[in-house]
Amino acid sequence: MDDPVAPARIAPPNQTYYDRGMGRGVAIAIVVVAAVGGGGLLWKRQDDQRARQAIDASLAEARSEFKELAMGAVAETKDEGYRRRLLTALLQYEETLETRVYAERPMLRDPDAYRRRLEHQLDELDVPKAERPRKLEGFEVVKAAYDKLASGTWKSVLTQAGAGNTRLDVYQVRRIVTDDGRPMLEGRFFFWGLDADARVDWGQLEMRLWHTVEKTVGRGRGRKTKEVAEVYGLVQSDDGPRVYIDAPNRYIAEFPPYVAVGYLHLPVMPSEVESFDLTLRYRVKKAGVRHDAELKWTKMPIPPRWQLSPGQRWEADVIEATEDEIAGKDRPSEEG
């Protein structure tokens, strides 16, 4: 059989019709192959569409199963019970994604798809490089939280259950520098207990810083000096979380349900301070019912990396208050 890609030959006159016929045959063959190829592409697109629809349905089922388990974990009042049950639920969810949802099409699982789409759009819009981190900030927060959950290795720095079957879990605190050059603590968190229709209104965040001072107590011959815990300062903020994302699955489809993510800003504390109290208030509305929550941590030890260096000045806005107010003994009642 002649090689179909061999160089053309000049045929004798009595073979002209034959060679033209071969030419038509080749042309027809090319058209047929092209048509089959086009049909193949169309079939592949339809097959990918069907696979995507099946994955979406299976993913919705897996998310529903996880939500039931997460609800039970969040209802645990003891921190260790919550963590144990939630880690079990997360491991089961991850196994379901691998063995059921994406078993036949693992290449369709792509947690970075949103970033690539956004970066492509930024390229088309010619957005300056300096502005891109801000545009990508939401995705980066969600991706960091997703990787932490999927690993099953995170440890709670601060965690507490609140009203309405909610729980705040600060899983990482790192030291950063703000745009205006101030040192700050960034507390990244999971906020569990959110249905699709839940709404959260964040209230006041309050920190009370404690240090030890020597004081003389008693009278006359009974006077003596002893170390006493005293309030060093009070920090209050009405801003709520610096970042709060209540639907992380808009960024990563496989992100578990029933949870929001974000981070809080806390001040870097003076070197003289030994412990702190933290109070965080919020209001959550679920299924038409309002729940007011107040989370409190008291006399929490301060890791050295959360503090300024000795002699480094603590910059904070100064407010006037009585000693009782600073110590929390004279707080006005809240209404609303």
Q: Coil, helix or strand for 328?
A: coil
Q: Residue 249 and residue 251: Cα distance in Å, rounded?
A: 5
Q: How confident is the model at residue 237 (pLDDT cuts 50, 70, 90)?
A: confident
Cα 125 off chain centre by: 27
DSSP state of 56: H
Residue 110 pLDDT grade (very low, low, confident, very high; cuts 50, 70, 90): very high
For 214-229, b where at least 16 C-beta lie within 10 A, e where not — what string? eeeeeeeeeeeeeeee
pTM of the model: 0.79
Q: How far apart are CA 175 and CA 157, in angstroms?
A: 14
pLDDT for the residue 217: 74
Q: Residue 49 pLDDT more than 50?
A: yes
Across 124-162, b (16+ Cβ under 10 Å) vs e yields eeeeeeeeeeeebebbebbbebbebbbeeebebebbbbb
Total domains, the chain = 1
Q: Are 273 and 307 in contact (CB under 8 A)?
A: yes
Q: What is the mean pLDDT of residues 168-179?
A: 92
What does the pLDDT read at residue 290? 95
* Residue burial 242-262, b: 16+ Cβ < 10 Å; e: rest: bbbbeebbebbbbbbbbbbbb
Q: How confident is the model at residue 5 (pLDDT cuts 50, 70, 90)?
A: very low
Indicate whether 3 belongs to any domain.
Answer: no
pLDDT of residue 221: 72
Do the Cβ atoms of 94 and 132 come closer than 8 Å?
Answer: no
Interatomic CA distance for residues 302 and 276, integer angstroms: 7
pLDDT at 328: 60
Largest CA-CA distance found in the chain, in angstroms, rounded: 137
CA distances from 312 to 79, 142, 272 (A): 36, 34, 10
Domain that residue 167 falls in = 156-326
Burial of 285 (0-12, 13-18, 19+ CB in 10 A): middle
- Taking only the tens place, the pLDDT of each residue in 255-265 is 999 999 999 99
Q: Is residue 17 in a domain?
A: no
Q: Please give the pLDDT value at position 95.
A: 95
Q: Give the integer Cα–Cα distance in Å for 175 and 268.
A: 8
- Domain assignment present for residue 334? The answer is no
Q: Which two tokens stand for residue 43?
A: 């079939």
Among the residue ranges 29-33, 180-184, 311-315, the one predicted with the least confidence is 29-33
Name which residue leads in pLDDT, 151 or 301: 301
Inside any domain, residue 24: no
> Is residue 31 in some structural domain?
no
pLDDT for 178 equals 85
Examine residue 122 and state whether it is found in any structural domain, yes or no: no
Look at residue 225 in the predicted model and tell me its pLDDT: 81
DSSP helix/strand/coil, 146? helix
Q: Which whole number is the average pLDDT over 96-101?
A: 95
Q: Quote the strand ranges of the chain, DSSP E.
A: 158-162, 166-177, 183-192, 199-217, 224-237, 243-245, 259-267, 275-286, 289-301
Q: Judge whether 274 and 280 are in contact, CB under 8 Å.
A: no
Q: What is the pLDDT of residue 312?
A: 81
Note whether residue 44 is domain-resident.
Answer: no
What's the rounded mean pLDDT across residues 54-76?
95
For residue range 188-207, what is the model confidence (pLDDT) as tens digits? Answer: 999 999 988 899 999 999 99
Does residue 55 contact residue 102 with C-beta atoms inside 8 Å?
A: yes
- In the predicted model, what is the mean pLDDT of the chain? 83
Domain assignment present for 184: yes
Cβ-based neighbour number of residue 56 at 10 Å: 12
pLDDT grade for 10, boundaries at 50, 70 and 90: very low
